[in-house]
């Protein structure tokens, strides 16, 4: 189980409102090795309303080999996996430039990395959090090394058994400011049947830490559902267009979709943080009750002295006249004055 010092609800990516689930946008290799494109992602993620942006820190010589293969083929790709990682590497200087830019846009910044050298580089940076990806979450040597990184950790579990998740929590949680577990399914794109929202509740009950969803479906529904299910964090891959030939394009949301996700999060938070008392609300809606209410009304012109019968009456909008519940009390009563057709009956229409 977890150490008592580990925060058990909100991971510190909060934009100020402790009730809001944090939305993290994973850039991955969508920048294709271009620093300017990486900075463009910072601006667009901030414009969409997300709380944090995450980049992947690859160091080809420390994590790859000539046997490394792509998980998806593309007829447009002519480089090896090693060359691909090499092209997308981020220097410490580039990382710091991205961090500075992101903080200017009120974004938290995290990095996932895949080697011991990468862990050291993240520790040297001024990143806000470390993300441990699903492939590294099942590598105990990596988790042992990650213990030295003095940052909040987000742990993705897309390849893990429950036993492996427990081992990771027990290793990383003690004494750490924050640990967040992300349910994930390592398929690109993943099927809706494999999203596994039920695991969030299981994680929270078993480990008492922040929980969330890292989604690879390429659709909005899982992220929206996770927010409505009470997730502390939702991570989605972001892309400028799903027509791009990047590794994660099909599994990503466009920036417009991410903007809708953030809007839903904010509006959902407003809804759930304002419970409604039905009686109080009804009292405050008295003017509308009259608009939508009914009164006793007469079908035809009626002269003074006419005794009201059932055929004279119908129930008409708005309220404010004699209530329909008073119908039996006015039957047989003579009118004190002329009443025009289609008008509401009032008490003063009858002799006292």
pLDDT digits 0-9 by tens, 19-48: 589 999 999 888 888 999 999 999 999 999
User: What integer pLDDT is reported at residue 11 of this predicted model?
Assistant: 33
Q: Rounded to an integer, what distance in angstroms lies between the CA atom of residue 225 and that of residue 21?
A: 12
- Give me the mean pLDDT over the 84-102 stretch: 95
pLDDT digits 0-9 by tens, 165-205: 999 999 999 988 899 999 999 988 999 999 999 999 999 99
Q: Residue 216 pLDDT more than 90?
A: yes
Of the candidates 24, 31, 23, 22, which has an alpha carbon nearest to the alpha carbon of residue 240?
A: 31
Tell me the average pLDDT of the chain: 90
Q: CA torsion 159→162→167→168, rounded to 10°?
A: 50
Q: pLDDT above 70 covers what percent of the chain?
A: 90
User: What integer pLDDT is reported at residue 177 of this predicted model?
Assistant: 86
- Give me the mean pLDDT over the 10-14 stretch: 34
Identify the band that residue 4 occupies on the pLDDT scale cut at 50, 70 and 90. Answer: very low
User: Which letter, b or e, does each residue of 121-131 get, where b requires 16 or more Cβ atoms within 10 Å of its Cβ?
Assistant: bbeebebbbbb
Q: Which residue has the higher pLDDT, 318 or 246?
A: 318
Identify the band that residue 78 occupies on the pLDDT scale cut at 50, 70 and 90. Answer: low
User: What integer pLDDT is reported at residue 6 of this predicted model?
Assistant: 39
User: What integer pLDDT is reported at residue 247 of this predicted model?
Assistant: 65
pLDDT digits 0-9 by tens, 278-311: 999 999 999 999 999 999 999 999 999 999 999 9
User: What integer pLDDT is reported at residue 201 of this predicted model?
Assistant: 94
Query: What domains does the chain contain, in order, with CATH numbers?
Result: 22-272 (3.20.20.70), 284-349 (3.90.1210.10)
Q: Are 105 and 43 in contact (CB under 8 A)?
A: yes
Q: Residue 115 pLDDT more than 70?
A: yes
Q: Rounded to an integer, what distance in angstroms lies between the CA atom of residue 162 and that of residue 203?
A: 9
Q: Which residues pair with 233 in a beta bridge?
A: 22, 212
Q: Are 223 and 254 in contact (CB under 8 A)?
A: no
Q: Residue 215 pLDDT more than 60?
A: yes
């Amino acid at each position: 189980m977890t150490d008592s010092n580990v925060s058990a609800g909100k991971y510190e990516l909060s934009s100020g409102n402790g009730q809001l689930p944090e939305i993290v946008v994973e850039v991955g290799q969508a920048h294709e090795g271009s620093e300017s494109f990486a900075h463009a992602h910072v601006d667009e993620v901030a414009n969409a309303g997300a709380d944090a942006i995450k980049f992947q820190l690859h160091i080809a010589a420390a994590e790859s080999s000539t046997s490394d293969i792509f998980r998806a083929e593309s007829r447009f790709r002519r480089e090896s996996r090693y060359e691909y990682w090499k092209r997308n590497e981020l220097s410490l200087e580039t990382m710091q430039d991205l961090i500075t830019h992101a903080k200017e846009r009120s974004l938290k910044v995290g990095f996932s990395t895949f080697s011991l050298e990468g862990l050291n580089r993240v520790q040297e940076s001024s990143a806000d959090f470390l993300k441990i990806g699903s492939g590294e979450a099942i590598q105990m040597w990596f988790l042992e090394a990650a213990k030295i990184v003095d940052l909040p950790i987000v742990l993705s579990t897309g390849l893990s058994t429950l036993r492996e998740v427990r081992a990771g929590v027990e290793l990383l949680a003690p004494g750490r400011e924050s640990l967040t577990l992300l349910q994930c399914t390592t398929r690109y794109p993943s099927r809706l049947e494999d999203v596994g929202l039920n695991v969030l509740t299981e994680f929270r009950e078993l480990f008492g830490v922040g929980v969330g969803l890292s989604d690879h479906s390429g659709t909005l529904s899982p992220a929206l559902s996770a927010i409505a299910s009470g997730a502390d964090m939702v991570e989605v891959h972001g892309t400028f267009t799903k027509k791009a030939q990047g590794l994660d394009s099909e599994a990503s949301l466009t920036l417009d979709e991410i903007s809708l996700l953030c809007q839903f999060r904010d509006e959902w938070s407003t809804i759930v943080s304002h419970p409604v008392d039905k009686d109080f609300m009804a009292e405050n809606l008295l003017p509308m009750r009259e608009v939508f209410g009914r009164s006793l009304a007469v079908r035809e012109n009626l002269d003074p002295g006419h005794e009201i019968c059932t055929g004279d009456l119908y129930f008409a909008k708005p309220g404010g006249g004699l209530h329909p519940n008073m119908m039996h009390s006015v039957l047989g009563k003579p009118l004190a004055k002329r009443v025009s057709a289609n008008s509401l009956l009032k008490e003063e229409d009858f002799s006292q």
